[in-house]
Amino acid sequence: MKKLLSSPAVWLLLIVLMIFWPFIFFGKVPLPVDTLVGAYLPWLDYKWGYIVGVPVKNALTSDAFSQFYLWKELSIDLFRGGIVPLWNKYSFSGTSLLGTFHSSVLFPANLLLLLPSGFGWGMFILSSALAAAFSMYLFLGTLVKEKASRVIGSLIYAFAGPMTTWSQFGTAVWAASLLPLILYCLDGIIKSRRLIYFPLLTFFTGLLIFAGHVQLLTYTIVVAPLYFFYRQKKTLGKINPNLSLKVILAAGLGLGLGAVQLLPALDFFGRSIRTEENYASFFNFGLSHWTQAIRLWAADFFGNPVTINHFSSFSYHEYSSYLGVFVLPLIVSFLPNSFFSYLFFASLFFAFANPISHFIFSLPLPLLTYSSASRIFFLTNLAAAVLAALAIDNLFADRKSSRRRLVFASLFLTAVTLIAILFVDGAHRAISLRNSFFYFSLLSAFLLSAVFVKNRFILSLLLVLLFSLDLGRYYAKYNPFVSRTFIFPDTPVTTFLKEQKPPFRIAREDTNLLPANSWTAYRLESVEGYDPLFSSDYAHYFHRLSGNPYENRVSRYALLEGINHKFLSAANVKYILTKNTTEASARSYLAADLVKEGYLPVFTDKSVTVYADPIVKSRAYFVNKLRFAKDKAQMGRVLDDPQFDPTTEAVIMGEPFEPNFGQNEVLAINHRDNEVEISVRSQDGGFLILSDAYDPGWRVYVDGTKTTLYQVNGAHRGVIIPAKTGQVTFRYEPASFKLGLVITLASLALTPLYLLGLHLLKHR
């Protein structure tokens, strides 16, 4: 027992668990749903046990519950019902669930969500931090000698910078945890040539794809080969072609292993808003300004959103680069000629604004430049963790010279911080000074320990304690832990909507009324949604729902901005939620506009009223007229035509045809997740529209016979119905998923054969 408690790995485990103490000891969940119940209607109308309502700790992390938690909870629910999570029918009138790469619905750790609500998510987030810490601990075992160095490097990697600010999103930290494991396998292949490292490399590469963070996948594809060739030159003195080929095959099998996720994502990406949106360009592609460099060692120099005193024009969340108070002095005190030194400075160069980085991130490079450049701080964090561990090793080995450099570097950063405070405007200077005092105090304690403590064990203990205090405080300050009861609780409004007979869709008047995608938790469907990846065709069609021109600029937010009654009716929007207010709204309509359009108030609870459309179209309906367009521009002009009525006619892009328009009736709709069955009575034949979002992966069968599926009105599904038809079935069967599944299964089968081949070659 004594030996176990003295193990550095056990100490690392205990430190990580202590950082998660609100979850471990009190069952509070690392999910910012305090923002849900404390800032959004209809939950805001209730106090949830507080006198004045639930206090909100950090609204910047709301994507954690409005996207990532919901997608994973939905996918697990579908798996539980024996359904492959291919399609999400709850937002954007339906959208690809598997193809939305960051939904990571196939990641094995998602199985933790089978545990009771809240507890499963807590274990999922805690496990990601443990995985990141121990993967770096394992990797550092090949690079450093001191056990304290391994523990400290692991803590830096698991809790510094973007690892903390992205922790509760559930994808980035898991993906980051796999990068050191991949590098560890490459080291093992070079040094020992043990065969086990090859299938492990395959396995970890596949897991990285399933983890769902596209930037870390891209960075790994760049960094891992560079590291492998660098280590070969350093260790073997040359590049070994045979060894390189074996590694390429192992990594290729890993990419094949993840093909069932990767191919649908690439397919969906090409049809999504991502290439049109130009989101990153609005904040200089996420490149940090040089003034933000102080956040590398003083995270709260410009304040903190949690304490509501953040005053920088740069987002605290997106530009998080904090490495810890002590890391830069350590790196300066001992900067080896190593791969990680180059990586550290290269990542900083590309993260901060300069002509070269600006040019690169302004290029349309898929999977890299369509998001914030600040994500490259994940690589800075990786390099810093390794360099800091090496520096602590050197501190123990060469105390005298290391101490001098350490003191000089610390004094230099202290001077830079003090000078920077002088340039802060007077209104905010007190914030910078007060927050910097904490960092000065920690740095002083660190220097006193490094310079005056002679005993190696005590020094190791003090250093681990100081790093734990610094990074643990940083994590705890930023990330909320909340009561499980806040995870999408029912209100009278949500209960009313859940009790209505489906299928129908909802919309809302304002963004602080039902945050985007939150309706998914209640299994309600909407024409709205929020996602960096959703269909570009649907985004343009959605403009017409809002009363805007078809060709308006697309956005990741599909938020209703106005009423176009006919289009909303054709999209099966039966209920619209409004706030009870007489004040002018930021939106273009109020309850009075709904009444003017014929909507009826059917339910009111405190600040929220639900209006219903009494003439809403069924989810599936027949039209009596078709129009045709030669191209997308012409189709947009038809949709913009005030005379166009989507409840009775449709526009199709392509060659004209003339179906029969006879007596037809929709009898019943059985709307499931990857399949929709519609019973019809067709006397003479006609044209049927299903107002679910179009996707080329959908197939349609009329009385069991596959037939042509048409993209109507730019975003919905249509099919010609012959006379005497009784059953129409839509099934989601994307070719990219089928091909990806075949490749994944083939890779699984080939991996043991590949290992057998390596074994035979080794013995020959």
Rounded to two decimals, the pTM is 0.94
pLDDT at 370: 63
Distance, CA of 522 to CA of 525 (rounded, Å)? 9
* Spatial contact of 505 and 571, defined as CB atoms under 8 Å apart: yes
User: Is residue 663 domain-shared with residue 725, that is, in the same domain?
Assistant: yes
Please count the structural domains in the chain.
2
Distance, CA of 472 to CA of 158 (rounded, Å)? 10
Cross-strand partners of 576: 507, 611
What single DSSP character describes residue 67? I
Q: Which two tokens stand for residue 406?
A: 């350490």
pLDDT at 372: 79
DSSP 465-498: HHHHHHHHHHHHHHS--B-GGGSS---HHHHHHH
Closest CA to 744 of 63, 261, 61, 224: 261
User: Is residue 609 domain-shared with residue 634, that is, in the same domain?
Assistant: no
pLDDT at 588: 40
Residue 682 identity: S
- Collapsing DSSP to helix, strand or coil, 731 comes out as strand
pLDDT at 5: 54
All residues at 6 or more sequence positions from 437 whose CB lies less than 8 Å from its CB, including other chains: none
Kind of pairing, strands 649-653 and 625-629?
Answer: parallel
Distance, CA of 117 to CA of 525 (rounded, Å)? 22
Distance, CA of 93 to CA of 506 (rounded, Å)? 10
82 occurs within a structural domain: yes
* Spatial contact of 369 and 207, defined as CB atoms under 8 Å apart: no
Q: List pLDDT tens digits, range 178-193.
A: 999 999 999 999 988 7
Domain boundary, last residue among 578, 594, 617: 617
- Averaged pLDDT for residues 337-345: 94
- Averaged pLDDT for residues 140-145: 91
363 occurs within a structural domain: no
670 occurs within a structural domain: yes
Closest CA to 285 of 225, 337, 355, 345: 355
- Confidence band for 287, pLDDT divided at 50, 70 and 90: confident
Integer angstrom CA distances of residue 241 from 226, 229, 247, 339: 15, 10, 10, 21
Percentage of residues of the chain with pLDDT beyond 90: 68
Closest CA to 544 of 513, 517, 565: 565
* Residue with token string 């963070």: 213
* Spatial contact of 725 and 680, defined as CB atoms under 8 Å apart: yes
Distance, CA of 338 to CA of 397 (rounded, Å)? 18
Integer angstrom CA distances of residue 4 from 8, 9, 80, 461, 621: 9, 9, 39, 16, 68
Q: What angle do CA 620, 624, 629 make, to 5 degrees?
A: 95
Q: List pLDDT tens digits, range 469-523.
A: 999 999 999 999 999 999 999 999 999 999 999 999 999 987 789 999 999 999 9
User: Is residue 712 domain-shared with residue 724, that is, in the same domain?
Assistant: yes
345 occurs within a structural domain: no
68 occurs within a structural domain: yes
Q: What angle do CA 413, 419, 423 make, to 5 degrees?
A: 135
What single DSSP character describes residue 288? B
Q: Which two tokens stand for residue 417?
A: 């911080």
Q: List pLDDT tens digits, range 519-578.
A: 999 999 999 999 988 999 999 999 998 888 888 788 888 888 888 899 999 999 999 999
Domain encompassing residue 706:
620-733
Kind of pairing, strands 557-558 and 95-96?
Answer: unpaired
579 occurs within a structural domain: yes
Residue 252 has pLDDT above 70, yes or no: yes
Upstream peptide bond of 42 is cis (omega within 30 degrees of 0): yes
Return the number of other C-beta atoms located less than 10 Å from residue 80's C-beta: 10
Window from 155-169, 267-281, 672-686 with minimum mean pLDDT: 267-281
Window from 286-290, 375-379, 506-510, 759-763 with minimum mean pLDDT: 759-763
Kind of pairing, strands 710-712 and 529-530?
Answer: unpaired
Domain boundary, last residue among 617, 640, 662: 617
Residue 69 identity: Y
Residue 52 identity: V
Strand blocks (E) in 535-685: 557-558, 573-579, 600-605, 608-612, 620-623, 625-629, 649-653, 664-671, 675-682
User: Is residue 636 domain-shared with residue 601, that is, in the same domain?
Assistant: no
Integer angstrom CA distances of residue 221 from 248, 255, 528: 11, 10, 35
Domain boundary, last residue among 601, 617, 633: 617
186 occurs within a structural domain: no
Distance, CA of 186 to CA of 197 (rounded, Å)? 8
Q: Which two tokens stand for residue 724?
A: 């005497």
Residue of higher predicted confidence among 78 and 725: 78
Return the number of other C-beta atoms located less than 10 Å from residue 662's C-beta: 14
pLDDT at 582: 55
User: Is residue 509 domain-shared with residue 613, that is, in the same domain?
Assistant: yes
pLDDT at 366: 66
pLDDT at 586: 42
- Averaged pLDDT for residues 264-270: 92
Q: What angle do CA 72, 76, 78 make, to 5 degrees?
A: 115
pLDDT at 210: 97
pLDDT at 282: 65
All residues at 6 or more sequence positions from 678 whose CB lies less than 8 Å from its CB, including other chains: 620, 666, 668, 669, 670, 688, 690, 727, 728, 729, 730
User: Is residue 705 domain-shared with residue 718, that is, in the same domain?
Assistant: yes
- Collapsing DSSP to helix, strand or coil, 598 comes out as coil
Residue 742 identity: V
* Spatial contact of 73 and 113, defined as CB atoms under 8 Å apart: yes
User: Is residue 596 domain-shared with residue 624, that is, in the same domain?
Assistant: no
**Residue 424: in which H helix or E strand, if any?**
none
Average pLDDT score, the chain: 90
User: Is residue 539 domain-shared with residue 508, that is, in the same domain?
Assistant: yes
User: Is residue 550 domain-shared with residue 612, that is, in the same domain?
Assistant: yes
Distance, CA of 448 to CA of 468 (rounded, Å)? 17
Window from 98-107, 225-234, 391-400, 622-631 with minimum mean pLDDT: 391-400
User: Is residue 624 domain-shared with residue 692, that is, in the same domain?
Assistant: yes
What single DSSP character describes residue 64? I
* Residue with token string 């980085």: 357
Cross-strand partners of 689: 621, 718
User: Is residue 507 domain-shared with residue 560, that is, in the same domain?
Assistant: yes
Distance, CA of 572 to CA of 614 (rounded, Å)? 11
User: Is residue 607 domain-shared with residue 501, that is, in the same domain?
Assistant: yes
613 occurs within a structural domain: yes
